[in-house]
Chain A
Amino acid sequence: MQSEAFRKVLAETFVVVPAYNEGRVIGEVITGLSSAFPNIVVVNDGSSDDTAAVLKGLPVIVVKHPVNLGQGASLQTGITFALERGANYIVTFDADGQHRPEDALSALRMLGDGQCDVVCGSRFLGTTSNMPRTRKIILKTVVGLANLTAGTKMTDAHNGLRALSRKAASCLAISQSGMAHASEIMSQLRLHKMDIREVPVQINYTEYSLAKGQSSLNSINILVDLVIGRFLK
């Protein structure tokens, strides 16, 4: 793709970053993103630390949940806001420093080429540093379950880095406020017959991100949420 064309894509892209008590790292994450992306929406999900104060000096639009709702709810809020502002492309990006802006650019490049509707990051296609063995086993199990319920053939699930076209983002109505949203997103995209591709990404498992991330036992809660979610539909 011509760099001029990609600059146009970048100008029409909004990066949505859901953040809950990420004051320690959010500054660094946004600084890294803002060098490449002009439009960044941070959804401050009722943080009780200094996240709001750190965000004040940064080139971002902040949408603030008065109370903590969960990552799924934050993503939906950010996506709705970005669509309202005329975004043609939306990138979702975790606030804990696990993702690299260059991977977001790779995903966007693939999407910008117009070959598909959604590009998801896959840590199992790329290189991942310091991934604990138990987490790897659990993630592989979750991928299997997610593929089974959503009817997809993905190599990764619960990866926060995604690039969505406006058409794909408009299909989403995330009702899973918690961590079950990742499987729900895939189900909804599949339901609307979106063309989904994967791009290799590198995940940096730092001490901070591992402490912030969900516990392995939470995969059981995710499963329960997905089952209950079906009853509510």
Chain B
Amino acid sequence: MTFKYFLVAVLIGFIFYLLLLPRVGYLRKGVIFAVVLTMLVFAIRPDWSTSVADAVGISRGADLLFYLSHLTLFFVAFVYFVKFKEMEVRFTKLVRQLALENARRDAGH
């Protein structure tokens, strides 16, 4: 039971942190809020996860949470990979501009 209270406290803390976060779009905030809220509900009422699992054709609630957490992690990893690639493109443009400016200066332009 102690871990359950700890988990609930952490999740509630995260929801407050999320609400206070500046510069995060409403859509993104909403998606994260929904995921954390679902985790919170299942932490308080684990038997509900079994009912949901049963409804979607998975026998155990624990299995449902296992699959969902994998999907969530995969999604988060993909989003950050794309973000990283975007940063790489910006970095490349910056380095190119620097290289071209130096070359122009060396060539006396």
Residues of A bordering B, CB below 8 Å: 43, 61-67, 69, 73, 76-77, 80-81, 84-85, 175, 177, 228-229, 231-232
Chain A neighbourhood of B100, CB < 8 A: 63, 77, 80-81, 84
Nearest-neighbor residue (CB-CB) of A85 within chain B: B107
Whether A61 pairs with B99 at a CB distance below 8 angstroms is no
Contact of A228 among B85, B92, B103, B107 (CB under 8 A): B85
Question: Is B1 among interface residues, defined by CB-CB distance under 8 A?
Answer: no
* Chain B 90-109 interface mask (CB, 8 Å, partner A; 1/0): 00100110111011100100
Whether B85 pairs with A232 at a CB distance below 8 angstroms is yes
Question: Is B47 among interface residues, defined by CB-CB distance under 8 A?
Answer: no
Residues of B63-106 contacting chain A, CB below 8 A: 81-82, 85-86, 88-89, 92, 95-96, 98-100, 102-104
Whether B86 pairs with A64 at a CB distance below 8 angstroms is no
Nearest-neighbor residue (CB-CB) of A72 within chain B: B92
Chain B neighbourhood of A81, CB < 8 A: 100, 103
Interface residues on B, range: 10 to 19
Known pairs A63-B100, A81-B103; A73 contacts B92 (CB<8 A): yes
Whether A62 pairs with B82 at a CB distance below 8 angstroms is no
Whether B107 pairs with A66 at a CB distance below 8 angstroms is no
Whether B103 pairs with A63 at a CB distance below 8 angstroms is yes
Whether A67 pairs with B103 at a CB distance below 8 angstroms is no
- Could you show 17 A-B contacts with beta carbons less than 8 Å apart? A61-B107, A63-B102, A64-B99, A64-B102, A69-B95, A69-B96, A73-B92, A73-B95, A73-B96, A80-B100, A81-B100, A81-B103, A177-B88, A231-B82, A232-B82, A232-B85, A232-B89
Contact of A76 among B86, B96, B107 (CB under 8 A): B96
